[in-house]
């Protein structure tokens, strides 16, 4: 016996949770509630128009029913619902818990409106005239049909409006002459079932559409992420994360086509690490890879953002092996390029520990200017390559401009083509 109150309390709690659930709404349900609030205002207007027409057409023939009070109460509830819809729409977008509170409030106000609307059915007394029968028909049929497009977006809301009407109609069937009880009960049941089935079909179709849209959005997001990953594989160096040769060539060619029209100079920097082979031979390829990553990071930090005019992943390119390429745009001529490469040499020249051994890395840099040394990328690369050879021949850890070369020969008469990198 002691368990019965607990069981009753649990049952009531379960019933309350079913009628007014708590917790955040899932995404599809949240979208349905947002759509309900967007469609709610036209539905309220249609309901108020139906109420006014009913009042004007049948108010004087209501047979003593308090239709004025009924009209005022229903209109007041409509005004409150107008206000609350405006408040909730101003808070969008919603999270799951906010959507749940908005849904429960909409259901409560809809339930009160359904009770108010169905009141005249419970106040009718028999026998009633044909006019009052038409009036009851308008009440039971007109408003549910007018409210269906919006309220059936979210079935719990539609049930809150339909249940009071069907309940009032069933109550009315008890009051009619006994010979008609069965007929009215049957009509009420069929009518309620048709309304519910129609609303459920509409709500299910809308729910399925929203679910499909969300699945499509998720698929698009996954495809976009996959495309970015493929782009990274195609255009990024997997070791350093810099742009690879292919991407740099595409971006540099695009920029070099635009810069002459803008009247701006560009500087192409070919950066080659000094003595990199010795690091690999002495410390191993793992240490060599770590050094490449360190040089890449130092290159990026040495260059100011306004030195670069390229795709964000092409600020510095690992062009191949131990070579890096940088395109400086609008670099204030040779003087601006000179300042940039001076920062690069100073930043890269800081010591780094590899496998417990401290080394001081260095690079040799060849520079070709556009448009002075050419407007085509291949031409600039050849010029920067020759200048880089000269920097190595001059002692490494320095830079050289292509214009400083004499007829394709290194200063001092040494053939650049005979020079070896290292």
The residues, any chain, with a CB within 8 Å of residue 299's CB and separated by 6 or more, are: 271, 316, 324, 326, 344, 347, 348
Q: Tens-of-pLDDT digits for all 422 residues of the chain? A: 445 555 555 655 554 554 555 666 677 778 877 887 887 788 788 778 877 777 776 665 555 556 777 788 888 988 998 898 888 888 877 777 888 888 888 888 888 888 888 777 666 655 656 566 666 666 666 666 666 666 667 777 877 877 887 777 777 766 665 555 566 667 667 776 777 777 777 777 777 877 777 778 888 888 887 777 776 677 888 899 888 898 899 888 888 887 665 667 889 999 999 999 999 989 999 999 999 999 999 998 888 644 444 333 336 799 988 999 999 887 677 888 898 899 999 999 999 999 889 999 999 999 999 888 988 999 999 999 999 999 999 999 999 999 988 654 433 333 333 334 45
Q: According to the 3-state scheme, what is the secondary structure of 119-166?
A: HHHHHCCCCCCHHHHHHHHHHHHHHHHHHHHHHCCCHHHHHHHHHHHH
Which pLDDT belongs to residue 199? 74
Nearest 10 degrees: Cα torsion 51, 53, 55, 60 = -170
Which pLDDT belongs to residue 307? 45
Which pLDDT belongs to residue 313? 33
The residues, any chain, with a CB within 8 Å of residue 351's CB and separated by 6 or more, are: 358, 359, 360
The residues, any chain, with a CB within 8 Å of residue 422's CB and separated by 6 or more, are: 274, 275, 276, 277, 278, 392
**Domain 245-418 part of CATH 3.30.70.270:** yes
- How far apart, in Å, are the Cα atoms of 291 and each of 270, 296, 345, 386, 396? 18, 9, 15, 25, 18
Which pLDDT belongs to residue 417? 37
- How far apart, in Å, are the Cα atoms of 316 and each of 209, 216, 303? 46, 37, 9
Which pLDDT belongs to residue 378? 93
- In angstroms, rounded to a whole number, what is the distance separating the alpha carbons of residues 269 and 331? 12
Are 266 and 369 in contact by the 8 Å Cβ rule? The answer is yes
Which pLDDT belongs to residue 197? 78
Which pLDDT belongs to residue 20? 55
Locate the domains of the chain by residue range. 22-219, 245-418
Which pLDDT belongs to residue 284? 92
């Amino acid at each position: 016996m002691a368990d019965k109150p607990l069981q009753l309390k649990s049952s009531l709690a379960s019933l309350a949770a079913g009628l007014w659930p708590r917790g955040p709404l899932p995404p599809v349900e949240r979208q349905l509630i947002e759509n309900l609030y967007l469609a709610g205002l036209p539905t309220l207007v249609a309901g108020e128009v139906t109420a006014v027409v009913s009042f004007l057409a049948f108010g004087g023939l209501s047979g003593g029913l308090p239709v004025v009070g009924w009209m005022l109460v229903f209109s007041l509830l409509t005004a409150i619902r107008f206000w609350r819809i405006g408040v909730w729409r101003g808070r969008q977008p919603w999270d799951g818990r906010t959507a749940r509170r908005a849904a429960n409030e909409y259901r409560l106000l809809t339930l009160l409106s359904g009770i108010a609307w169905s009141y005249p059915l419970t106040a009718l007394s028999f026998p009633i005239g044909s006019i009052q029968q038409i009036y009851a028909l308008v009440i039971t049929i007109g408003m549910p049909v007018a409210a269906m497009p919006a309220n059936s977006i979210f079935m719990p809301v539609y049930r809150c409006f339909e249940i009071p009407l069907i309940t009032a109609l069933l109550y009315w069937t008890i009051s009619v002459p006994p010979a008609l009880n069965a007929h009215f009960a049957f009509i009420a049941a069929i009518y309620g079932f048709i309304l519910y089935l129609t609303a459920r079909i509409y709500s299910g179709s809308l729910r399925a559409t929203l679910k499909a849209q969300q699945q499509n959005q998720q698929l698009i997001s996954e495809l976009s992420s996959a495309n970015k990953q493929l782009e990274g594989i195609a255009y990024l160096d997997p070791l350093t994360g810099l742009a690879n040769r292919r991407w740099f060539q595409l971006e540099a060619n695009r920029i070099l086509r635009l810069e002459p029209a803008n009247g701006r100079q560009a500087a192409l920097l070919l950066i080659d690490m000094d003595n990199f082979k010795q690091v690999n031979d002495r410390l191993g390829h793992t240490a060599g890879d770590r050094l490449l990553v360190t040089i890449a990071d130092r290159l990026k930090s040495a260059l100011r953002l306004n030195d670069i005019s390229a795709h964000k992943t092409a600020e510095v390119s690992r062009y191949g092996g131990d070579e890096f390429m940088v395109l400086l745009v609008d670099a204030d001529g040779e003087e601006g390029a000179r300042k940039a490469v001076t920062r690069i040499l100073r930043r890269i020249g800081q010591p780094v520990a590899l496998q417990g051994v401290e080394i001081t890395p260095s690079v040799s840099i060849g520079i070709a200017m556009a448009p002075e040394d050419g407007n085509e990328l291949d031409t600039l690369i050849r010029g920067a390559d020759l200048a880089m050879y000269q920097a190595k021949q001059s002692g490494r850890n320095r830079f050289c401009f292509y214009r400083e070369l004499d007829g394709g020969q290194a200063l001092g008469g040494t053939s650049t083509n005979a020079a070896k990198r290292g």
